[in-house]
Structure 1
Amino acid sequence: MRTQQISFGIIVASIAIDQAEQPIMPEPSFYKALCLTGKKHGIDVYVFDAAGLPPHTNELHGCRWEDDRFIRQPVPLPDIVYDRCFFIDAAQQLACRIMLGRLAAIKPYQQLNGRLPSKLDVYESLKEDGALARHLPHTHSFQTAEQLLALAKRQALGIILKPSSGMQGRGILHVTRNPLEGTLHVKGRSRQNRSFTLAFSSDDAFKHWLSRFVHHAPYLIQPYLELSGEDRKPFDVRALIQKGQKSDWLVSGVAVRSGIAGSLTSNLHGGGVAHPAAQLLSAKFGKAESERLLEQIHTISKQTAEQLESKFGRLAELGLDYGIDRSGHIWLLEANAKPGRSSFQRNGDQEAERLSIERPLLYARTLTRRLSPSFVANETANGRLLHASPNNLLRPFNVQEVHR
């Protein structure tokens, strides 16, 4: 029986057109790789946005990679939608939601990657698993400056205040109190991702500044973990876990990102550098301990994916960020439903980079094959019709940071 070609649509928040009438979009190298790999597997891959389905028409326009460039052209309605939307405002989000609602009414489809709720909800769900709970930093929802100061007083190394919907380490703070002088010291990154340090001689001055900095945005409080080596460079471990062709969870790659000495974060956008995981961990902990740590990270990653999927519905991939303290204890810091891939490109891990691109496509084919032998594209993976509504189609993935 001839395999019917799958239409794999990547939705992004916006596609602009430059003066040469060339499409401008986020993550172009990633989408190019998906397009080229899709051709090898008989999958038609294209990129589209809310403007791709104008009002009063059922014709979708998207961008395919052809003749060494992206070309905007009419495309078939998608069987699979891969959400890579990173919104800059509510208007973009609403436009995408309305468009996807119209799209589903014309032809039901499946969304490849599921969604996660708030960071706090993710933390609470993972904490229910005893094996995972020991790897989670205690997390509180930020309510008041008084609450923050009380928690900071109980932590010898201070506390971390981070946005509930942060990206790339922006807006993160490390707050400590000098026990002798009583002054408060703040090290952080602005929303423009610039490092800064401040000192406050009084609690009132700190509270006034914090109110303006937070500005009603949701934040989380965690104890500060010493996640840097003797070189004072902070580092974390990014594990990418994805559904494979058999719908099982597989770790596609692990990379270590190290930041600038004395910096608060190791994000690549903040000046961090990606390294092969085994190489850097061996240098810090020795070869035997490095192998133990990586094996444990694989185990925790699979347990995390299974737990989150059992709580929040089917997922396709997760970027999981870990910290390792000086005693060798592993801490799960972030769960990211829209993970980036550039760590593997930057550290030269070609196999991880290949798998990170190929597995979403192979999983998409598996999803469609489950529907029926003849590939009926309007049913869900378990055989039920997809009842798509605008409220269910797209919501901000406000749980994760995006580390490219």
Structure 2
Amino acid sequence: MTQTNRPALAILVSDIRVLAEREQGIVRIRMPEDDFCRRLCESGSQFGLRVFVLPVASAAPRPSGADGYVLEDGQWRQTRCPLPDLIYDRAFCSGRVEREAKQLLLEQLAGLRPNVQLGSPLPDKLTMHRMLQTDERLKPLLAPTVHYRSGVQLAALMKRCPHGLFLKPAAGFQGRGTLWLRPSGEGWQADGRQLTNRPVSQTFANFDAMSAWTDRFVRSTRYIVQPYLQLTGEDGNAFDLRSLLQKDGLGRWTMTGIAVRVGAPGSITANLHGGGAASPALKQLTLRFGEARARYLLTQVQQSCLRAAAILEQQIGRIGELGADFGIDRKGRLWLLELNGKPGRQSFEHDEGLSRQAMLKPLAYARYLCKRSLPLHLSLSPPLPNAANPEQSSTVHPNP
């Protein structure tokens, strides 16, 4: 199969950085998730795919193609790319304008040539929480969650939450914009990260001052509020589990890996973008809880991920991969903290084999979608996995 008649897979990204090396007169381009995009483009031919990058802001699709980037001799080169048969959405939009621009581009591409996205976009955190709450096996893993309206509501919520409140953007990612509000001595304390990911820490003499400051911090961004869960290790640093569930070359869900993430000192989350570090889950959990308890927790994580994926697919359609964050409180209770439809791979860089799987499974799944005999836009409802049976396989047959 020649390069021109291979199915075309477009990686959708947001902003592109142009790095000018003035001394040599060379202009170098860096993609968002540059290493990931490189690996996908380099490996596409192994899966019978032509892979390139389409930036949301400058793709300018027309019947003849769209403006994108291909990888040649280790460098990104801008060129006219074919209209894609498949789209892998890795565009992280920072606001309404960028989200609308991406939606417009997707509509333009679909109008020019039918295409298939590797996964449907996930709804906001509150909507997902409500979807998962309908399942009796997942409901105990979910913290109470409400929509943030104003600082006025915080007083009533704080009375029911002795360790404070945790606020995060309803459509946030990478731990940005998170906030922990709590009493401290004779006053109040707020710690977290701004939407730009810079650390923030404020003290207040009274609750009203903290409430007013929180309103200014949130501004027009949609936020959710949860009880603050004590998800820290013995060293006091934030501690959680990141799991990566991906569809393989046969359209089945497979658990690629589970890693422990430990946050940087002083950080309220364990996100790697906030300075955290990742390591193998079984080893770390065994050190903390013993091997038997560690294996039980990992089985719970695996089965909960499969069940959450099945529920979401029944509601919103095809999903190609799902990142899930779990916390373990000081009593050993497991909590499902967050689901992410655009999961990162950094948590598995400590294991070369897992890292390679995490990178390449989207290509195997894209090839599968191309080879399906059913029309690509159709999907079947998956069975829900039996979370009570620890012997169940980690592979299920979901919405392809």
Give the structure-1-normalised TM-score. Answer: 0.86
Alignment match of 1:256 (pick from 255, 260, 265): 260
Alignment match of 2:243 (pick from 222, 239, 254): 239
- Aligned counterpart, 1:322: 326
3-state SS of 2:234 partner: coil
3-state SS of 2:233 partner: coil
CA–CA distance in structure 1, aligned partners of residues 283 and 99 of structure 2: 41
Native 8 Å contact 2:14 2:57 kept in 1: no
- Aligned counterpart, 1:401: none
3-state SS of 1:22 partner: strand
CA–CA distance in structure 1, aligned partners of residues 379 and 258 of structure 2: 34
CA–CA distance in structure 2, aligned partners of residues 321 and 120 of structure 1: 15
- Aligned counterpart, 1:380: 376
Matches within 5 A, 1:2-401: 5-19=6-20, 20-50=26-56, 53-54=59-60, 58-177=64-183, 181=186, 183-345=187-349, 348-371=350-373, 379-382=375-378
CA–CA distance in structure 2, aligned partners of residues 268 and 73 of structure 1: 34
CA–CA distance in structure 2, aligned partners of residues 193 and 94 of structure 1: 23
Distance 1:233 1:203, change over 3 A: closer
Native 8 Å contact 1:14 1:92 kept in 2: no
CA–CA distance in structure 2, aligned partners of residues 383 and 312 of structure 1: 11
Native 8 Å contact 1:15 1:48 kept in 2: no
CA–CA distance in structure 1, aligned partners of residues 354 and 34 of structure 2: 19
Question: Displacement, 1:2?
Answer: 11
Structure 2: which 5+ residue stretches go unaligned? 21-25, 381-400
CA–CA distance in structure 1, aligned partners of residues 260 and 81 of structure 2: 39
CA–CA distance in structure 2, aligned partners of residues 188 and 45 of structure 1: 38
Deviations along 1:125-169, one digit per CA (max 9) or x if unpaired, are 000000000100111111222321211111121111222122322
Native 8 Å contact 1:13 1:93 kept in 2: no
CA–CA distance in structure 2, aligned partners of residues 186 and 310 of structure 1: 38
3-state SS of 2:372 partner: helix
After TM superposition, the structure 1 stretch with the greater mean CA deviation from structure 2, 251-260 or 121-130, is: 251-260
CA–CA distance in structure 1, aligned partners of residues 33 and 200 of structure 2: 29
3-state SS of 1:9 partner: strand
CA–CA distance in structure 2, aligned partners of residues 207 and 312 of structure 1: 36
Question: Displacement, 1:89?
Answer: 4.5
CA–CA distance in structure 1, aligned partners of residues 41 and 61 of structure 2: 27
- Aligned counterpart, 2:394: none
3-state SS of 1:254 partner: strand
3-state SS of 2:141 partner: coil
RMSD: 2.4
Letter in 2 for 1:110: V
CA–CA distance in structure 2, aligned partners of residues 57 and 64 of structure 1: 19
3-state SS of 1:65 partner: strand
Percent of aligned positions that are identical: 39
CA–CA distance in structure 1, aligned partners of residues 312 and 61 of structure 2: 37
Deviations along 1:263-294, one digit per CA (max 9) or x if unpaired, are 31111121111111112111111222111111
Native 8 Å contact 1:228 1:234 kept in 2: yes
Structure 1: which 5+ residue stretches go unaligned? 373-378, 385-404
CA–CA distance in structure 1, aligned partners of residues 231 and 379 of structure 2: 46
Letter in 2 for 1:158: G
3-state SS of 2:163 partner: coil
Question: Displacement, 1:301?
Answer: 0.7
Letter in 2 for 1:172: T
Distance 1:163 1:96, change over 3 A: closer
Letter in 1 for 2:11: I
Native 8 Å contact 1:82 1:113 kept in 2: yes
CA–CA distance in structure 2, aligned partners of residues 194 and 15 of structure 1: 21
CA–CA distance in structure 2, aligned partners of residues 111 and 89 of structure 1: 22
After TM superposition, the structure 1 stretch with the greater mean CA deviation from structure 2, 72-81 or 194-203, is: 194-203
Q: Per chain length, whose mean CA-contact separation is higher, i.e. which structure has more relative contact order (CA < 8 Å, sep 6+)?
A: 1
Deviations along 1:184-239, one digit per CA (max 9) or x if unpaired, are 22222233333343332223222221221111321111111111121111111100
Give the structure-2-normalised TM-score. Answer: 0.87
